[in-house]
């Protein structure tokens, strides 16, 4: 029994899952680059106030899920629960608008004190995109298109884009009054959480998943019917833009997302196969956040994808177009002397571009061969006393069972003959 365990709600990523994660991220980085998005890294902790002000005091994230702590000087810091606030903070602080850096992406862990379950953790990875400086609906379409393109490039099927508009403060305030009046009448039918949110954040009531609340919420007024002229036009053009690109979506008038900073477009990409935690990712417009955090008024839109959920959906399957792993050359040795020669050999093979590994165990060469097999070697080189004294080294193509005795200088060219040139 291990003495220590990872904290509740956290995961270790071990091979091959950790390797898959690298492949997926590599694929995503290629696409981000194709769309002009460039990487940004921000600290894992920030001043607590950054999140309370941007995400919103009444949201679940801020009111009950933040990992906040006082540092040694008593400053309140928080492990980031999401990426957008930090990126916007960095955008303003580093004057990224002057540098024309409005297309950014990040990858990293986020922290929320949630009740852990399948697909919901206290530390989880997000890959996020932020597109700052564009107010028009084509930017919304481009960002949703990018999300879909990422999913396609990973071979993900069965995803659904859910779309809504949450309006702007003007139309949303009017809508919220109407919604509140309607919900007040249904109070006794709604759960405790809904009753509490009704006072603090009535939009979030729409989000409630409790079965008993679904009937009373079914026919409440919809925000899309209450949008002001500007928001209505933006929403119509966004939908038109998606249709022009043949990107399927479904309208979900109850999609409000859990963070306060959203304006206008809100979207979520879901997959039924994920069960109760069905959202693979989500995002939306946040046209007021940059100004709220001290920058010049700057419209923006972004999304974040949950990497653990993505991994769950992808399972063990190879990604489309994913090649086989590079061939591994295993060097097995039988004595201490041979091991030294083996160490020199892997050193030189690696410099020539081969994935090469020295089996550290000494002893019978049959055992070395087994080790080579277990490690998936494509070729095995066996170095024993005989090989050292004769200078002829046994090199074996594992799949073909073909074995040659070669001088050390001929090994590289033989491997190339078998497996092709190295990059």
Least separation in angstroms between CB 263 and ligand AMP: 15
Decide: 268 and 307 in contact? Cβ < 8 Å.
no
Residues found in the chain: 423
Q: Which is nearer to ligand AMP, 123 or 414 (CB)?
A: 123
Q: Which is nearer to ligand AMP, 124 or 354 (CB)?
A: 124
The conformation of residue 325, written as its DSSP 8-state character, comes to: P
Q: Which is nearer to ligand AMP, 122 or 397 (CB)?
A: 122
Q: Which is nearer to ligand AMP, 10 or 414 (CB)?
A: 10
Least separation in angstroms between CB 404 and ligand AMP: 51
- Kindly give the interhelix angle for 137-153 and 229-244, rounded to the nearest 10 degrees: 40
- Kindly give the interhelix angle for 411-419 and 336-351, rounded to the nearest 10 degrees: 60
Least separation in angstroms between CB 305 and ligand AMP: 6
Least separation in angstroms between CB 213 and ligand AMP: 20
What is the strand order of the sheet 328-333 is part of?
355-359, 328-333, 379-383, 392-397, 402-407
Q: How far apart are CA 86 and CA 43, in angstroms?
A: 8
Q: Which is nearer to ligand AMP, 304 or 329 (CB)?
A: 304
Least separation in angstroms between CB 235 and ligand AMP: 20
Q: Which is nearer to ligand AMP, 102 or 281 (CB)?
A: 281
CB atoms within 10 A of CB 216: 20
Helices and strands, counts by H and E, the chain: 15, 16
Decide: 161 and 255 in contact? Cβ < 8 Å.
no
Least separation in angstroms between CB 252 and ligand AMP: 14
Least separation in angstroms between CB 126 and ligand AMP: 5
Q: Which is nearer to ligand AMP, 307 or 382 (CB)?
A: 307
Which residue's beta carbon is nearest to the bound ligand AMP? 306
Cα dist from 224 to 25, 165, 169, 292, 392, whole Å: 36, 6, 14, 25, 78
Q: Are strands 67-70 and 123-132 parallel, antiparallel or unpaired?
A: unpaired
Binding site for ligand AMP (CB under 6 A): 82, 112, 114, 119-121, 124, 126, 258, 279-282, 304, 306, 308-309
């Amino acid at each position: 029994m291990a003495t220590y365990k990872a904290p509740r709600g956290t995961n270790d990523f071990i091979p091959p899952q950790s390797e898959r994660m690298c492949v997926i991220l590599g694929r995503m980085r290629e696409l981000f680059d194709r769309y002009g998005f460039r990487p940004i890294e921000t600290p894992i902790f920030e001043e607590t106030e950054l999140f309370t002000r941007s995400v919103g005091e009444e949201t679940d994230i801020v009111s009950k899920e933040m990992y906040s702590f006082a540092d040694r000087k008593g400053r309140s810091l928080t492990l980031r629960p999401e990426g957008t606030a930090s990126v916007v903070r960095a955008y303003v602080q580093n004057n990224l608008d002057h540098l024309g850096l409005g297309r950014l992406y990040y990858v990293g862990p986020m922290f929320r004190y949630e009740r852990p379950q399948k697909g919901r953790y206290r530390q989880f990875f997000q890959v996020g995109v932020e597109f700052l400086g564009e107010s028009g609906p084509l930017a919304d379409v481009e960002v949703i298109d990018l999300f879909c393109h990422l999913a396609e490039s990973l071979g993900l099927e069965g995803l659904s884009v859910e779309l809504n508009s949450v309006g702007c403060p003007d139309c949303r305030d009017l809508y919220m009054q109407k919604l509140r009046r309607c919900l007040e009448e249904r109070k006794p039918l709604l759960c405790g959480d809904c009753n509490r949110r009704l006072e603090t954040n009535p939009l979030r009531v729409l989000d409630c998943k409790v079965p008993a609340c679904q009937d009373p919420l079914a026919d409440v007024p919809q925000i899309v019917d209450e949008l002001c002229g500007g928001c209505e036009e933006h929403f119509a053009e966004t939908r038109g833009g998606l249709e022009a690109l043949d990107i399927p979506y479904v309208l979900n008038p109850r999609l409000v997302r859990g963070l306060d900073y959203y304006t206008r477009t809100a979207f979520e990409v879901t997959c039924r196969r994920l069960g109760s935690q069905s959202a693979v990712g989500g995002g939306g417009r946040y046209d007021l956040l940059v100004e709220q955090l001290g920058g010049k008024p700057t419209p923006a839109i972004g999304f974040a994808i949950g990497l653990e959920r993505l991994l769950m959906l992808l399972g063990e399957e190879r990604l489309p177009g994913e090649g086989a792993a590079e061939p591994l050359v295993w060097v097995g040795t039988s004595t201490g002397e041979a091991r030294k020669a083996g160490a020199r050999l892997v050193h030189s093979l690696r410099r020539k571009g081969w994935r090469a590994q020295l089996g550290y165990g000494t002893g019978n060469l049959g055992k070395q061969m087994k080790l080579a097999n277990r490690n998936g070697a494509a070729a095995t080189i066996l170095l024993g006393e005989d090989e050292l004294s004769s200078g002829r080294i046994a090199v074996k193509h594992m799949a073909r069972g073909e074995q040659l005795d070669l001088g050390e200088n001929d090994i590289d060219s033989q491997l190339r003959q078998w497996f092709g040139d190295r990059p």
